[in-house]
Chain A
């Protein structure tokens, strides 16, 4: 498997423009996560999906951010309008919930893409 694939790898845009980040999870995985990483705030979880359904979007900073997962093999994170403070590296990760030992909670090992480095000027 090629792993989690993100595109584009780099995006430079001007303030006010719409930005769309794309993610292809690992085939067969049932969870998909979007993270944002900055020097100041570290790695923050923005939203995650289970079986294409958004489960928790409380990390999405503002209404300018939206995420969709129309099918099991594709997700988008959209910023509209973009602002300079949105500049960061955005990571997508996917995982497969696997049963752990009998009576123990499931494992959920996440595998990350290479990220999209976004610069908003």
Chain B
């Protein structure tokens, strides 16, 4: 199965700054990458799919890019509610797998 490695494990930033989160796949997954945000005691929330398509209701501050094995989630102008855990998921190979997560902290 495809292993997704997210980096860094923890990222420190501040409100109004930007953040760049990375996800690397152990083999090509084309553009079949999704990004999720998870806050404590909540389920994951879909942010991005197909590497760069924002899910319904997701603000334009969130953007995704990449293809093949290297992917990036960029969050511009961080808001307090953005400080959370972020996971990437691949669905280009079976079974779908998730990365270990990046904690975005203040």
- Do these two chains really belong together in a complex? no
A residues with a Cβ closer than 8 A to B are: none
B residues with a Cβ closer than 8 A to A are: none
